[in-house]
Amino acid sequence: MDSVMTSLAILLSTTLMYSTPLIFTSLGGVFSENSGVVNIGLEGMMTIGAFVGATVAVFTGNPWMAFIGAGVAGGLFALLHAIASISFNANQVISGIAINFLAPGIAIFMSKMLFDGSTMTPSIPLDQKMPRYLNGLLPSGFLDTVFNTYATTYLAFIFVAIAWFVLYKTRFGLRI
């Protein structure tokens, strides 16, 4: 029975860790869709954000600067999509597909330029990764395995609650 609980804890922990970027991206998609803009370019925005985040982490060694840099890079591609769709009246689906093609291409090109022909960023040392604030606070076992995750995971769930509040309880959200 212990092996089943251990496996379940590892599964839940891994799910939380890997769902975090998807949560942040889906929050942007929710605001986009609620405002009437179809955004199928979210995957491209995630790709460029991942590249910029990893690059900033390699050069600065600061995981929080990398996190903010990734968000800004994704936001710039969202701005590109918004300008094309709203200002130039471009088809939103075509603009999103263009972003999905453009972002990985730029990421690979910039990676080759910055990292001597490599198509991947170098590995980030373990001490420069996001902190785990609950590390060692919980007793070893199921709870420690599940909840000992990166700070960005908890931040994502906080942003989900904030987005719900903004969209359904504020005048601004109801007007979107």
For 70-82, the pLDDT digits (tens) are 999 999 999 999 8
According to the model, what pLDDT value does residue 35 have? 87
Residue 110, φ and ψ in degrees, nearest 5:
-65, -35
Q: Is 156 within the bounds of a domain?
A: yes
Q: Is 3 within the bounds of a domain?
A: yes
Q: What is the pTM of this model?
A: 0.87
Give the residue numbers spanning the domain of 117: 37-128
Residue, of 139 and 13, whose pLDDT is higher: 13
What's the mean per-residue pLDDT of the chain? Answer: 90
Final residue belonging to a domain, choices 128, 146, 162: 128
How far is residue 123's CA from residue 17's CA, in Å, rounded to a whole number? Answer: 18
Does 53 share its domain with 123?
yes
Does 71 share its domain with 124?
yes
Domains in the chain, number: 2
Does 119 share its domain with 168?
no
Span of 63-67, 137-141, 164-168 with lowest mean pLDDT: 137-141
How far is residue 55's CA from residue 120's CA, in Å, rounded to a whole number? Answer: 10
pLDDT above 90: percentage of residues in the chain: 64
Residue, of 51 and 142, whose pLDDT is higher: 51
Q: Is the pLDDT of residue 123 over 80?
A: yes
Q: What is the DSSP letter of 122?
A: P
Of 18, 129, 175, 75, the closest CA to residue 10 belongs to 18
According to the model, what pLDDT value does residue 125 have? 83
